[in-house]
Chain A
Amino acid sequence: MKYFIKKIITLIITLLFISLLTFTAFSVIPGDAAISKLGVDASPEAIARVRAEYELDQPVMTRYVHWLEKALHGDFGQSYKYDTMTVTQLLKSRLPVTILLAVMSFVIIVVIALPLGMLSARFAGKWLDVLINQLTQITMAIPSFFLGIILTYVFGLVFKVFQPGGYVSMEEDMKGCIEYLILPAVAVALPKIAMVVKYLRNSVLSEMKKDYVRTAYSKGNSVNQVLYGHVLRNALIPVITFVAMVVAEILAGSLVIEQVFSIPGMGRLMITSISTRDYPVVQAAVLYITSIVVIINFLVDVLYQLADPRVRTA
């Protein structure tokens, strides 16, 4: 129990730290948001009015406390660029798409990487292992956005089963949306599959050297029985911590891949907001994404601890 309380306190401190960092960082950025909203020809009075409206004339710490207070209630203020929408509305419309994409890539990774990793370890040193190793080397070297472009070309032009830019929103047609997201999900997943396969293989191989494996063999178990009955669950424990990293990588990957497939998710929102200096949106997006990463790390830590109580004392 003490372990969990300590973890939760660390989590809260980290989140606060991140929010403070995001807020101050965006406050010291050169370039006046009021000018970027109104244009350089705006009259000083209009600029002063906008500055007052966005509380830009207050000291940083006051603004931070105000901002945090509102943010905790889900209010990130008004976007500079999209006049009619609040930041929260914008994020709410974009976040589900990115999450769906991330979940789909995660499923693809698990379904493909686990069997491949086990096969690779089972036949370590044989031709199958060498083949898988070479394949993973190559897929790790392909940037996901390049893979996305190639997939668009192959499935769009050669097989004609994919319509680039033909994204349909979730509300409109859930099935069509998922169908459109398959290729982007594959593009995000492929380089990460390689990482997981490699990691699982090494984890299984180092487990195989342990004493309990020899005991299991001496009891007359077959290779497959030992591998799936005894080794797999132990080998998966270190993989769990690795999964946190993979999830974060998937999030980052989907930010980039959204641009390739013109998917209106968090990534596109963030990138357009960065280029149009729409700071309230960028700020909120950064806070959202970093919080997700931190919380996933926390959950994985807890999960890891449940799966392997030995780490609690360590």
Chain B
Amino acid sequence: MKKRNYSLIIGLILTGIILIITIIGQFWTPYAVTGMDSLAKNQAPSLIHLMGTDNFGRDVFSRVMNGCGTTFFVALSTVAIGCFFGVIIGSLTGFYGGLLDEIVMRINDVLLSFPSVLLVLIFISFIGTGKYKIIIALGVMFIPSFARIVRSEVIRYKSQEFVRSAQVMGAGNLRIIFVHILPNTAVSLLTAAAIGFNNAVLAEASMSYLGLGVQPPDPSLGRMLSEAQAYIFTAPWYAIWPGVVIVLIILGFSQISEGLRAISD
């Protein structure tokens, strides 16, 4: 009897709900995202304002809906960058090996021994702050982890029968790498992408919280938290809701990656 993959189901449902709310939030929100209402400052959550209002009387729920979009945008672009370059570097070094492989992997080892938040902080201090800069910083930081995974997979497959037969058929090396080997790495890549997505969400939120990530007027969950901190005793919901949403996003994706890992085992 096949055991049901509850992690994957829970993760997909959770992520699906957040994604739907986020997509709606890009086109329609209950209140204007930056609309201030001086008569409704710091109001507790109610039916009128689901997550309460902040110190300017802005509706927290509307801001969270819209801010999730920034979070997803940053995280997805980051993973895309890391994955794209990681796959290219990893598959080439894994397939050809040699000195270049040795050098690239040594650099990878050094980079991987640093926590991503620290690396991003260092990177940001070089290139400056902003939404697109944080994407570049995070994306570059994620290349090594993807490269390493793809590399080890490529090494595992490159001496197997189906690659040999492709070679006998006269397929070129690039064709073998990208057409024959890479599709086999899909599950491990997806798992890595889910983990990378989580790291990206965390790092983006941390950087925006520190004021070094997404800059106003772009809404961001991390920056909402740092604004909310000053009002933690008068309007705790302003801090709690954006934080809870970050936690739910991460939880959803970590369940998905658990589920994917169960499949690949």
Tell me, yes or no, whether A binds B: yes
State the A residues within 8 Å of B (CB): 14, 25-26, 29, 137-138, 140-143, 145-146, 149-150, 152-153, 156-157, 164, 244-245, 248-249, 251-253, 255-256, 259-260, 270-271, 274-275, 282, 286, 289-290, 293-294, 297
CB distance from B252 to the nearest CB of A (A): 9
B168-222, CB < 8 A from A: 198, 202, 205-206, 209-212
A286 close to B122 (CB less than 8 A):
yes
- A251-B225 CB under 8 A given contacts A140-B254, A141-B251: no
A contacts with B: majority SS: helix
Q: A149-B232, A274-B125, A294-B113 are in contact. List 17 more A-B contacts (CB 8 A).
A: A26-B125, A137-B255, A138-B247, A143-B202, A143-B206, A146-B243, A146-B247, A153-B232, A249-B115, A251-B115, A252-B117, A255-B117, A256-B206, A259-B209, A271-B121, A289-B118, A290-B122
Q: Which of B114, B209, B240 has the most CB of A within 10 A?
A: B114
Q: Which residues of A contact B1 (CB under 8 A)?
A: none
B114 close to A137 (CB less than 8 A):
no
A152 close to B232 (CB less than 8 A):
yes
B250 close to A256 (CB less than 8 A):
no
B221-256, CB < 8 A from A: 225-226, 228-229, 232-233, 236, 239-240, 243, 246-248, 250-251, 254-255
CA distance A134 to B248 in the complex (A): 14
B232 close to A146 (CB less than 8 A):
no
Q: Which residues of A contact B121 (CB under 8 A)?
A: 252, 255, 270-271, 274
Residue from the list B122, B126, B246 in contact with A146, Cβ < 8 A: B246
State the B residues within 8 Å of A (CB): 110, 113-118, 121-122, 124-126, 129, 198, 202, 205-206, 209-212, 225-226, 228-229, 232-233, 236, 239-240, 243, 246-248, 250-251, 254-255, 258
Q: Which residues of B contact A245 (CB under 8 A)?
A: 113, 115
CA distance A32 to B210 in the complex (A): 24
Q: What 6 A-B pairs have minimum CB-CB distances, sorted nearest first?
A: A252-B115, A146-B243, A252-B118, A141-B250, A141-B251, A252-B117
Residue from the list B125, B209, B240, B254 in contact with A256, Cβ < 8 A: B209
CA distance A153 to B116 in the complex (A): 28
Residue from the list B122, B126, B239 in contact with A153, Cβ < 8 A: B239
B239 close to A248 (CB less than 8 A):
no
Q: Which residues of A contact B247 (CB under 8 A)?
A: 138, 141-143, 146
B115 close to A248 (CB less than 8 A):
yes
B225 close to A149 (CB less than 8 A):
yes
Q: Which residues of B contact A29 (CB under 8 A)?
A: 126
CA distance A270 to B110 in the complex (A): 22
Residue from the list B212, B239, B240 in contact with A274, Cβ < 8 A: B212
CA distance A141 to B247 in the complex (A): 5
CA distance A271 to B113 in the complex (A): 22
Residue from the list A143, A153, A282, A297 in contact with B233, Cβ < 8 A: A153
CA distance A163 to B69 in the complex (A): 35
Q: Which residues of A contact B240 (CB under 8 A)?
A: 150
CB distance from B105 to the nearest CB of A (A): 14
B118 close to A293 (CB less than 8 A):
yes
CA distance A244 to B114 in the complex (A): 10
B118 close to A251 (CB less than 8 A):
yes
B233 close to A248 (CB less than 8 A):
no
Which partner residue on chain A sits nearest B110 by CB separation?
Answer: A14
Residue from the list A145, A255, A293 in contact with B114, Cβ < 8 A: A293
CB distance from B131 to the nearest CB of A (A): 16
A256 close to B243 (CB less than 8 A):
no
Q: Which residues of B contact A286 (CB under 8 A)?
A: 122, 125
Q: Which residues of B contact A289 (CB under 8 A)?
A: 118
CA distance A157 to B226 in the complex (A): 18
A271 close to B210 (CB less than 8 A):
yes
Q: Which residues of B contact A256 (CB under 8 A)?
A: 117, 206, 209-210
Q: Which residues of A contact B255 (CB under 8 A)?
A: 137
CA distance A274 to B211 in the complex (A): 10
CB distance from B229 to the nearest CB of A (A): 6
B110 close to A259 (CB less than 8 A):
no
- A137-B254 CB under 8 A given contacts A29-B126, A149-B225, A153-B232: yes
Q: Which residues of A contact B116 (CB under 8 A)?
A: 252
CB distance from B7 to the nearest CB of A (A): 9
CA distance A297 to B236 in the complex (A): 40
A248 close to B114 (CB less than 8 A):
yes
CA distance A142 to B198 in the complex (A): 11
Q: Which residues of B contact A145 (CB under 8 A)?
A: 205-206, 209, 225
